[in-house]
Amino acid sequence: MAEAETSRDGAVLTITLNRPEVLNAFNAAMHEALAAALKEAGDPSVRAVVLTGAGRGFCVGQDLTEFRDSPGDIGRRLRKNYHPNVLAIRRLEKPVIAAVNGAAAGAGLSIACACDIRLAADSASFVPAFINIGLIPDSGGSYFVTRLLGYARAFEWMTSGRKLSAAEAQAWGLVSEVVEGETLVERSAEVAGQLAAMPTREGVAAFLEKREPRFTGS
């Protein structure tokens, strides 16, 4: 099994981070597998992407065992491993939905926040874990969280390291919708399917030709 699996349903590609025994913490293999999955997402026939995690976690950021075993230059590792995938998400010309099924911590939180919207299971949690281990919110965390929450709330949260429940995250506007855990897959597929079927050019053509639009999702 790859560390990030893909599955296709029509125009929707689902990417599942797949190291459930460590709540989908990033190691080198998972960075590579996610890069490959995001490349697949670039295919023009994919019109919406769902990013989720296997098991009870979404993604808890850097695998701290790997971090301990090879400390070295953190900045270099971020630029090599994390930044390309964060940028790849942002460069996709299609919506990316984070289906947050469990804990999103550290760089896992940053990556959830790099997505266009977040749907969460009621059991999900959001943990700005960086401060607890002496790091700044990397992998785009300081950029995306600030834009989602505003500077003051983002600063207070990131410096507190406080775990936020799904309900709190929704109240703050970090999450669009919270659903019962077992319905997250279904609801994410539904939202992704709706987004995938939305118009690109046909709306203008229909207006100019004074007829009803026939949206086909292409």
Catalytic residues: 83, 138
> Does 135 engage in binding with ligand T3D (CB under 6 A)?
yes
77 forms part of the interface with ligand T3D (CB under 6 A): yes
Q: Which of 160, 154, 129 is nearest to 142 (CA)?
A: 154
Is residue 148 a contact residue for ligand T3D (CB under 6 A)? no
57-59 vs 164-165, strand pairing mode: unpaired
Closer residue to ligand T3D, CB minimum distance, 36 or 135: 135
* Beta carbon of residue 5, minimum distance to ligand T3D (angstroms, whole number): 19
Nearest CB to ligand T3D, comparing residues 165 and 197: 165
Interface with ligand T3D includes 103 (CB under 6 A)?
A: yes
Min dist. Cβ of residue 87 to ligand T3D (A): 16
Residues 131/161, Cβ–Cβ less than 8 Å: yes
Q: Does 96 bind ligand T3D (CB under 6 A)?
A: no
DSSP 172: T
Residue 24 CB, shortest distance to ligand T3D, in Å, is: 9
Q: How far is the CB of 103 from ligand T3D (least distance, A)?
A: 4
Asked if 3 touches ligand T3D (CB under 6 A), the answer is no
In whole angstroms, what is the distance from residue 122 CA to residue 49 CA? Answer: 21
Residues that contact ligand T3D, how many (by CB under 6 A): 24
The tokens for 122 are: 């009621």
- Bridge-based pairing of strands 103-105 and 125-127 is parallel
The reply to whether 106 sits near ligand T3D by the rule CB under 6 A is: yes
CB atoms within 10 A of CB 134: 6
**Is position 105 an interface residue for ligand T3D (rule: CB under 6 A)?**
yes
Strand order in the sheet with 177-179: 4-9, 12-17, 48-53, 96-100, 117-121, 177-179
Q: Which of these, 121, 139, 134, lies nearest to 161 by C-alpha position?
A: 134
Cα(116)–Cα(50) distance, rounded to whole angstroms? 10
CA separation for the pair 4, 17 (Å, rounded): 4
Q: Is 67 in the site for ligand T3D (CB under 6 A)?
A: yes
The yes or no reply on residue 120 touching ligand T3D (CB under 6 A) is no
Neighbours of 61 (CB within 10 A): 29
Contact with ligand T3D (CB under 6 A) among 17, 38, 48, 107: 107
Q: Is residue 198 a contact point for ligand T3D (CB under 6 A)?
A: no
Q: Which residues bind ligand T3D (CB under 6 A)?
A: 22-23, 25, 60-65, 67, 74, 77-78, 103, 105-107, 127, 129-130, 133, 135, 138-139
